């Protein structure tokens, strides 16, 4: 059991700032009082403790209120990604069997047409039912659910519990440190673990979150240079934009600024050198939805010597390489610790996340002599494009549904801006143009998942057992 | 399960300084390697995982090595207080049923004569048996046992587990914050939870502990003024000596210095004002052996407005006042959280520490409108003398064993240096002088527990059910 985080935080540091957005700010007491009000309003929609809802909204203060309201009510939140196609959203809503979909009016058009949803304004204007305060939260209660794909191409809904989030925040603080003056700049999507974990840290640390609806290099650079924020999460592509903006204007990081936590694949060494010149510390991290964010971290001081490494595990967790007999041996990366999801929901509810207490990530890597982790191949040929995970199998599944397509293979190709973008390789059984295929994909795939290149080929590279070898696809280019 | 802290810390930050003493210092890797060696040597004394030993030694690096060696071996440590009489030590050693007593040669004379002990040098010179490394520690494994008295006058051995110590360190870091540059000055006895908890924080945070064998105002003041340390634990009497030393020499706290954590009863407001002038932050705390140190903390910024308060609970724990219907109502202070001991050993092994999940401290207090805790009466009329806990019943038990004593009552009286000192009130059945009584007490009581005043009286104040009312004893003066 843990104390209700919202109530406890409001009790301990009522007057500290918990959230700001543009020129508005809210104390932890204000955030808690609002959460209690919204919990009472959710009750008037017959949403009870243990029920599950899906949430779709832009990253604005209303979203934070709604999230905290759901947490206060004890309602599990399935986070929907507004960049997904209505086809993809439909799958997740069905799979999660949510009791309601709560959607911000501006994003309602993204939902599948037949979705029975509750608008944000409907919740805010609803009657507030007096409900009993919950003093303690169970360690294994689910707070959030996020969908992530895998080898099958069917997204799996990953449960993140009270214990998962607190373990993650605690391990992180032992690594990064904490000051009263810390302010975490949040421009990552809240529906991703990279963004949501910032809110969890805020509640547990009593830390101010500076929220932006979208990433904007100018604002980030200015806040970093002025020292009005001290921490930030980023991916390589957003980091690069901040660096360029600061370089062009001769800006330097303020001494108050502590570090940028960079996830979603290794940061090019050149970026690190440039950051260093701006006095900007970059802490690289490896993690995933199943590990409630950060699981390994490479400190700034090690970044040059260990370029390309994801660092070492956080204190309360462990990493081992399946089948590795000695340092340097490659194998599947396995993770253990209180931050690892207990499992999935929906059609994968019966598939255990762990084997003998270890999460098998599907990623391939090795540990060097000193125990630094190197990730050499993301699972299922994962394509990381501007920090977003794209699973080839998901795109292939869509292409294979087209009547003219016989075989389809998708792989990432280099892109100067996004790191990687998906390219599709197609064997046809009937005639079809590339344009026809792309039109077919639209509406079925989020735009960032749309193949940026489509090549009609005679056959796909396959191994002895006739399995598609995605890493050899690019040889066809 | 948690990763073996010693191994994990050495793996994560091998080259960081973990301990220093005078002009010597040790990295976490050196500390771990030494712990492994000592674990192997302990094995040659047939000390195995789960066995229990008692430890008596001055606060020097050898003690830290021995502690870490025991932790690596998985041996439970009963911490003996070198200030206790051999009579008192005998009780604890017997009650704990330890497999061995490991003693530093300089303190061997303090042990009861018939004690079968192992000297520090014998351990250090023993053959090292190769033992298997333990990768994980169970949450409920006991690390340390410390004796504390209560209403009965019989000291109880309090178990502190892996989970207790990690929960305590984690809650503390969320309250105090953490920087890479933190160095904790340790002059508190290691056999007390106030000292031992500093070592636990060191392992979990990767933090440098600056160890002193004894408190010394000049050294502490100098380190604080030079910024070579950033944190310190103290009690009111040691704080005052540091303040005086700094005031006399016009010293100020270095900007790197973060705060003094002051336990063992409230700090007089006058000290806080003086500390403020020296730019010295004082964070007051309330805790006990059963809560593995800190459980409530009053921040420096609240110290003036809430003078006399022990502050608010740390994040993962809760405080309630038994029977209180509204703020301000007095009652027994009850504590809940993962830092609370699961229970006792020895003759109190079957007495549960908690009732319905709450530790009943025996202390009386109240929460004000904002939830700040005020401790108005320490349990069992506890006398806190220079930070040491003295239980009247323990002294009364000794006095009552004298053939001339009919009744005995002990209470604290004000003392300008120690805060409180014990005074004894005696009703005789046969003739005896005060000197005779004091001679009798010597050897049976630690010197700090010796009554500083003994008064022969006709009768003791008793309530309707004839129970001694200790708080009215001082009216007899």
Give the per-residue pLDDT at B433: 93
Q: Answer positive or negative: Cα dihedral of B136, B139, B142, B148.
A: positive
Q: What single DSSP character describes residue A256?
A: T
Per-residue pLDDT tens over the stretch A350-384? 988 888 899 999 888 899 999 999 987 666 577 88
At B291, list the tokens: 């809560």
Residue A247's DSSP bridge partners are none
pLDDT band at B274 (very low <50, low <70, confident <90, very high): very high
Instruction: Measure B12 CA to nearest chain A CA, in Å.
Output: 7
Q: Six-digit token pair at A101? A: 């979909």
A167 touches chain B (CB under 8 A): no
- Give the pLDDT band of residue A182 (cuts 50, 70, 90): very high
CB-CB: which of A174, A179, A204 is closest to B205? A174
A301 touches chain B (CB under 8 A): no
Encode pLDDT of B298-335 as tens digits: 987 787 888 889 999 999 999 999 989 999 998 899 99
pLDDT at B417: 85
pLDDT of B378 strictly over 70: no
Residues 6+ apart with CB under 8 A from B200: B143, B165, B166, B168, B169
B14 vs A contacts (CB less than 8 Å): 370
Judge whether A232 and A185 are in contact, CB under 8 Å.
yes
Coil, strand, or helix at residue A461? coil
Q: Sort strands A52-56 and A100-103 into parallel, antiparallel or unpaired.
A: parallel
Q: Give CA–CA dist B210/B20, Å, rounded.
A: 5
Q: Which has the higher per-residue pLDDT, A151 or B392?
A: B392
C-alpha to C-alpha distance for A294 and A339, rounded to whole angstroms = 9
Whether B217 and B244 have beta carbons less than 8 Å apart is answered as yes
d(CA A217, CA A444): 31
What is the arithmetic mean of pLDDT over A88-100?
95
Confidence of residue B467 (pLDDT cuts 50, 70, 90): low
Q: What is the largest CA-CA distance in chain A?
A: 67
Contact A37, A15 (CB under 8 A): no
The pLDDT, as a whole number, for residue B455 is 93
When pLDDT is averaged across residues A172-189 and rounded to a whole number, the result is: 95
What residue in A sits closest to B175 (Cα-Cα)? A205
Structure tokens at B139: 């949450």
Cβ–Cβ contact A311 with B under 8 A? no
| C-beta atoms of A315 and B3 within 8 A | yes
- Per-residue pLDDT averaged across A202-207, rounded? 97
Rounded to 5 degrees, what are φ and ψ at B279?
60, 30
Domains of chain A: 2-137 (3.40.50.980), 175-318+368-380 (3.40.50.12780), 383-476 (3.30.300.30)
Is any Cβ of chain A less than 8 angstroms from the Cβ of B133?
A: no
The answer to whether residue B380 scores a pLDDT higher than 60 is no
B1 chain-A contacts, CB cut-off 8 A: 357
Q: Do A66 and A123 form a contact (C-beta atoms < 8 A)?
A: yes
The answer to whether A174 and B178 have CB atoms below 8 angstroms apart is: yes
| pLDDT of B264 over the 80 cut | no
Give the C-alpha separation, B278 to B43, whole Å. 50
Long-range pairs of A152-156 with CB within 8 A, sequence gap ≥ 24 = A152/A393, A153/A391, A153/A392, A153/A393, A153/A394, A153/A396, A153/A397, A154/A91, A154/A347, A154/A348, A154/A394, A155/A88, A155/A91, A155/A92, A155/A95, A155/A394, A156/A344, A156/A346, A156/A348, A156/A351
Tell me the pLDDT band of A392, cut-offs 50, 70 and 90: confident
Q: For chain A, what percent of residues have pLDDT higher than 70?
A: 97
Q: What is the ipTM of this complex?
A: 0.85
Q: Is the Cβ of B179 closer than 8 Å to some Cβ of chain A?
A: yes
Tally of CB atoms within 10 A around A307 = 14
A18-51 residues labelled b (16+ CB within 10 A) or e (exposed): bbbbeeeebbbbbbbebbbebbbbbbebebeeeb
Q: How far is CA A73 from the centre of its chain?
A: 24
State which residue of chain B sits closest to A315, comparing Cα positions.
B8
pLDDT, one tens digit per residue, over B421-462 is: 999 999 998 899 999 999 999 988 988 999 999 999 999 887
In chain B, which residue's Cα lies nearest the Cα of A337? B2
Q: Extract the tokens encoding B269.
A: 């407001």
**Chain B residue with minimum CA distance to A163:** B316
Mean per-residue pLDDT for B354-380? Answer: 87
The answer to whether residue A327 neighbours chain B at the CB level (below 8 Å) is no
């Amino acid at each position: 059991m843990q104390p209700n985080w919202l109530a406890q935080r409001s009790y301990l540091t009522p007057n500290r700032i918990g959230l700001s957005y543009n020129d508005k700010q809210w104390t932890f007491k204000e955030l808690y009082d609002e959460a209690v009000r919204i919990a009472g309003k959710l009750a008037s929609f017959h949403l009870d403790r243990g029920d599950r809802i899906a949430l779709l909204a832009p990253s604005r203060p209303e979203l934070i209120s709604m999230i905290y309201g759901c947490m206060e009510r004890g309602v599990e939140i399935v986070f929907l990604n507004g960049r997904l196609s209505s086809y993809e959203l439909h799958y997740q809503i069905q799979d999660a069997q949510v009791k309601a979909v709560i959607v911000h009016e501006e994003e309602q058009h993204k939902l599948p047409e037949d979705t029975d949803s509750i608008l944000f304004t409907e919740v805010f204007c609803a009657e507030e039912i007096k409900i009993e305060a919950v003093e303690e939260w169970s360690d294994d209660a689910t707070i959030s659910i996020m969908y992530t794909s895998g080898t099958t191409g069917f997204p799996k809904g990953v449960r993140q519990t009270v214990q998962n989030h607190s373990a993650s925040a605690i391990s992180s603080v032992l690594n990064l440190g904490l000051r009263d003056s810390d302010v975490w700049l949040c421009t990552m999507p809240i529906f991703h673990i990279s963004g949501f974990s910032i809110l969890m840290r805020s509640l547990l640390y009593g830390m101010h979150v500076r929220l932006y609806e979208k990433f904007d290099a100018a604002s980030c650079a200015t806040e970093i240079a002025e020292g009005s924020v001290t921490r930030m999460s980023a991916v390589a592509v957003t980091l690069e934009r901040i660096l360029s903006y600061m370089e062009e204007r001769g800006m330097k990081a303020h001494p108050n600024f502590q570090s940028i936590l960079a996830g979603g694949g290794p940061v090019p060494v050149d970026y690190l050198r440039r950051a260093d010149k701006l006095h900007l510390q970059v802490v690289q991290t490896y993690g995933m939805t199943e590990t409630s964010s950060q699981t390994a971290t490479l400190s700034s001081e090690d970044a040059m010597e260990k370029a390309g490494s994801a660092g070492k595990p956080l204190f309360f967790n462990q990493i081992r390489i399946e089948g590795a007999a000695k340092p340097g041996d490659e194998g599947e990366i396995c993770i253990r610790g209180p931050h690892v999801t207990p499992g999935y929901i929906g059609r994968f509810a019966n598939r255990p996340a762990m084997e003998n207490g270890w999460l098998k990530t599907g990623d391939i890597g090795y540990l060097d002599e000193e125990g630094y982790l190197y990730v050499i191949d993301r699972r299922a040929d994962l394509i990381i494009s501007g920090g977003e995970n794209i699973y080839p199998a998901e795109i292939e599944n869509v292409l294979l549904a087209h009547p003219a397509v016989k075989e389809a293979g998708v792989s990432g190709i280099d892109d100067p801006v996004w790191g990687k973008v998906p390219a599709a390789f197609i064997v046809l059984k009937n005639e079809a143009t590339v344009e026809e295929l792309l039109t077919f994909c639209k509406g079925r795939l989020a735009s960032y998942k749309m193949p940026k290149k489509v090549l009609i080929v005679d056959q796909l590279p396959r191994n002895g057992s006739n399995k598609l070898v995605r890493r050899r696809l690019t040889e066809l280019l």
